């Protein structure tokens, strides 16, 4: 291939810049031209392009967000929009495309591949909810940010003998919630994947409270998909008499400098995407399996079911007090 495009799509994630940089540098060093497409599929349809040279991606590996911007593009959800995308690729001579985003973005990439534009999906989302990969770019940074915020919350929670009910992101997935709960020594993680019993949580809190057993702070981590954070805080307060506050961490989890892990995984995944395109291979998702970077057919990858981190959940339950 002589000319490829790269775009970021869906929710941004720390490490997307590192992935774009790796795509660009790997492609340029193979003599390919690289076109940056701004705002995902929106920018493809609107022809928002930037020429990417080696220096264009200098000084971005450590930056959060995505310098290509990102967007959601309803038009690309139907084949008419995808056909327009194909026509734009042909108009500017793009022979392949790297799509950095979540599973929605990959469905668009699959549709574009089916029309003859080879696309490679690189998983970029803090949620770690893409079926065929153990890891998605941004997950580690988001968890570190959430842990940092909850450590701060714990200080004030403890001073007031309170309970903090903290909502973390993850869309419908509880991967962030469980790991962050472990890393902050929380009392429980409340997720959609495992049933939860507020009465049991409340009974344990009453038993270990400062009056009974000297515990001055309680942290309950709630996955956003549960959608009940304020209610849980109110109900826990009613059940235990322990003053409770709800905190929704929100989009702060999507920002900030990517961690070492995110920079390295993003670089390896972006590099692998270009290796595939340079061999003329498209319609693949780059992922991580058993800790190693691999690739899988796009439709097959999207049809997989991702196991929940049941063991980590059980470890949390057994080590919380």
Could you tell which of ligand ADP, ligand F6P, none binds residue 104, using a CB distance below 5 to 8 A set by kind? Answer: ligand ADP
Query: Residues 49, 33: contact at Cβ < 8 Å?
Result: no
Instruction: Find, among 3, 95, 81, the residue nearest to 40 by Cα.
Output: 81
Instruction: Say if CB 15 and CB 137 are below 8 A apart.
Output: yes
Q: Cβ of residue 126: shortest distance to ligand F6P, in angstroms?
A: 5
| Strands, E assignment, 138-265 | 163-168, 188-190, 218-223, 244-248
Strands 96-101 and 3-8: parallel
The SS3 call for residue 129 is coil
- Is 127 catalytic? The answer is yes
- Residue 37 bridge partners (DSSP): 7, 49
Q: What is the Cα 229 distance to its own chain's centre?
A: 21
**Measured from the CB atom, is 215 or 254 closer to ligand F6P?**
254
Which of the listed partners (ligand F6P, ligand ADP, none) does 126 bind, with a CB threshold of 5 to 8 Å by partner kind? ligand F6P
> Which residue lies nearer to ligand ADP by CB, 65 or 102?
102
Question: If contact means CB under 5 to 8 A according to the sort of partner, which of ligand ADP, ligand F6P, none does residue 254 touch?
Answer: ligand F6P
Q: How far is the CB of 11 from ligand ADP (least distance, A)?
A: 5
Residue 99: enclosing H or E segment and its boundaries? strand 96-101
Q: What is the DSSP letter of 137?
A: B
Stretch touching ligand ADP by CB under 6 A, among 69-77, 205-213, 219-227, 249-257? 69-77
In the set 103, 127, 129, 262, the catalytic residue is: 127
- Using CB under 6 A, pick the residue from 17, 105, 240, 244 that binds ligand ADP: 105
Q: Are 39 and 71 in contact (CB under 8 A)?
A: yes
Least distance between ligand ADP and beta carbon 86 (Å) = 13
Determine if 41 is a binding residue for ligand ADP (CB under 6 A): yes
Rounded to whole angstroms, the maximal C-alpha distance in the chain is: 72
CB of 78 to ligand F6P, least distance (A): 20
- Answer for which of 65, 96, 101, 270 binds ligand ADP (CB under 6 A) is 101
Rg over alpha carbons for the chain, rounded to the nearest Å, is: 22
- Per CB under 6 A, residues contacting ligand ADP are 9-11, 41, 72-73, 76-77, 101-105, 107-108, 111, 125
Residues belonging to the active site: 127
């Amino acid at each position: 291939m002589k000319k490829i495009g790269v775009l970021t799509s869906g929710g941004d994630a720390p490490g997307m810049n590192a992935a774009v940089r790796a795509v660009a540098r790997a492609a340029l060093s193979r003599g390919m031209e690289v076109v940056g497409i701004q705002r995902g599929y929106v920018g493809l349809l609107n022809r928002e392009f930037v020429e990417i040279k080696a220096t264009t991606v200098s000084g971005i590996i450590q930056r959060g967000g995505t310098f290509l911007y990102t967007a959601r593009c309803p038009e690309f959800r139907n084949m008419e929009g995808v056909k327009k995308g194909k026509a734009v690729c042909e108009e500017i001579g793009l022979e392949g495309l790297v799509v950095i985003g979540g599973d929605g973005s990959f469905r668009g990439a699959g549709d574009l591949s089916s029309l003859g534009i080879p696309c490679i999906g690189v998983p970029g989302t803090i949620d770690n909810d893409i079926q065929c990969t153990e890891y998605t770019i941004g997950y580690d940074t988001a968890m570190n940010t959430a842990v940092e915020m909850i450590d701060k919350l714990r200080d004030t929670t403890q001073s007031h003998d309170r309970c903090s009910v903290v909502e973390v992101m993850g869309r419908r997935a509880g991967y962030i919630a469980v790991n962050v709960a472990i890393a902050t020594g929380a009392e429980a993680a409340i997720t959609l994947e495992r049933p939860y019993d507020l009465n049991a949580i409340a009974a344990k809190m009453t038993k270990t409270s400062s009056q009974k057993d000297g515990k001055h702070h309680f942290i309950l981590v709630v996955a956003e998909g549960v959608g009940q954070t304020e209610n849980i805080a109110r109900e826990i307060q009613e059940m235990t008499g322990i003053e409770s506050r709800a905190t929704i961490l929100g989009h702060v989890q999507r920002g900030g400098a990517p961690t070492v892990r995110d920079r390295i995984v993003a670089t390896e995944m972006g590099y692998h995407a270009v290796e595939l395109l340079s061999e003329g291979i498209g319609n693949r998702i780059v992922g991580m399996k058993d800790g190693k970077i691999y690739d899988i057919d796009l439709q097959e990858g999207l049809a997989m079911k991702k196991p929940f981190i049941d063991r980590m959940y059980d470890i949390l339950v057994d080590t919380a007090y």
